[in-house]
Structure 1
Amino acid sequence: MIVALGSFEGLCGFRTARDCAGLLSALNLDRMHRYCTTLRSVPEESALRQVFSAFLTEGPALVNDVTRAVAREAHTAGPYQAAFAGYDSIARAHPADPGLLPALMLNHFRLAPGEGLFLGAGVPHAYIRGLGVEVMAGSDNVLRCGLTTKHVDSQELLRVIAFSAAPVRILRPTATGSGEELFATPVDDFRLSVVRPGPHRESVALDFLAPQILLCTAGTVSVIGPEGEIALPVGSSVYAPAGEPVTVAGDGTVYRATVDVSFP
Structure 2
Amino acid sequence: MLVLDAVVRSYAWGSRTALARLRGDAGPSPHPEAELWFGAHPADSAYVHGARPRDGEDAPADGRSSLLDLIESDPAGQLGAEVMARFGPRLPFLLKLLAAEEPLSLQAHPSRDQALEGFDREEGAGIPIDSPIRNYRDRNHKPEVVVALERFDALAGFRDPARTVDLLGAIGVPELDPHLGLLRGQPDEAGLRALFTTWITMPQAMVYRLLPKVLEGCVRYLAEHGNGGEFAAEARSTLQIGEAYPGDVGVLSSMLLNRITLEPGEALYLPAGNLHAYLHGVGVEIMANSDNVLRGGLTPKHVDVPELLRVLDFHSVPATPTEGVATGARERVYLSDTPEFRLSSIDLHDGCVEISGSGPEILLCTGGAVEAHCDAVETTIHATQALWVPASSGPVTLTAVPHERGPLAHVPQDPGAGAAGGTGAQVFRARVGSA
Q: Is the 8 A contact 1:178 1:204 kept in 2?
A: no
Q: Is the 8 A contact 1:209 1:261 kept in 2?
A: no
Which residue is equivalent to 1:247?
Answer: 397
Which residue is equivalent to 1:91?
Answer: 242
Which residue is equivalent to 1:64?
Answer: 212
**How far apart, CA to CA, are the structure 1 residues paired with 2:343 and 2:281?**
19
Per-residue CA deviations over 1:212-247 (Å, capped at 9, x if unaligned) read 111111122122222511111112122222231322
SS at match of 1:76: helix
Per-residue CA deviations over 1:128-173 (Å, capped at 9, x if unaligned) read 1111111111335311111111111110000000000011111112
**How far apart, CA to CA, are the structure 1 residues paired with 2:311 and 2:178?**
25
**What is the TM-score when the length of structure 1 is the normalising length?**
0.93
Task: State whether structure 2 residue 162 is matched by structure 1 residue 37.
Answer: no
**Which has the higher mean CA deviation after the structures are superposed, 1-10 or 222-231?**
222-231
For 1:7-46, list aligned pairs within 5 A. 7-46=151-190
Task: State whether structure 2 residue 323 is matched by structure 1 residue 172.
Answer: yes
Q: Runs of 4 or more off by more than 2 Å in structure 1?
A: 67-76, 138-141
Query: Of residues 369, 372, 375 in structure 2, which corresponds to 1:220?
Result: 369
**How far apart, CA to CA, are the structure 1 residues paired with 2:147 and 2:291?**
23
Shift of 1:207: 2.0
**How far apart, CA to CA, are the structure 1 residues paired with 2:182 and 2:332?**
45
Per-residue CA deviations over 1:233-263 (Å, capped at 9, x if unaligned) read 112122222231322211411111111144x
**What is the TM-score when the length of structure 2 is the normalising length?**
0.57
SS at match of 2:218: helix
Q: Is the 8 A contact 1:9 1:128 kept in 2?
A: yes
Which residue is equivalent to 2:292?
Answer: 141
Closer/same/farther in 2, CA of residues 256 and 143 from structure 1, 3 Å limit? same
How many residues align? The count is 260
Q: CA RMSD in A?
A: 1.6
Per-residue CA deviations over 1:79-111 (Å, capped at 9, x if unaligned) read 101111112111112222211011000000111
Shift of 1:178: 7.2
> Tell me, which stretches of 5 or more residues in structure 1 are unaligned?
none
For 1:97-176, list aligned pairs within 5 A. 97-176=248-327
Which residue is equivalent to 1:73?
Answer: 221
> Tell me, which stretches of 5 or more residues in structure 2 are unaligned?
1-144, 401-423
Structure 1 vs Structure 2: percent identity of aligned residues?
37
**How far apart, CA to CA, are the structure 2 residues paired with 1:62 and 1:191?**
44
The structure with more radius of gyration: 2
**How far apart, CA to CA, are the structure 2 residues paired with 1:238 and 1:74?**
47
Q: Is the 8 A contact 2:162 2:187 kept in 1?
A: no
**How far apart, CA to CA, are the structure 2 residues paired with 1:144 and 1:253?**
33
**How far apart, CA to CA, are the structure 2 residues paired with 1:76 and 1:2?**
34
SS at match of 2:156: strand
**How far apart, CA to CA, are the structure 1 residues paired with 2:175 and 2:397?**
60
SS at match of 2:252: helix
**Which has the higher mean CA deviation after the structures are superposed, 98-107 or 38-47?**
38-47
Which residue is equivalent to 2:347?
Answer: 196
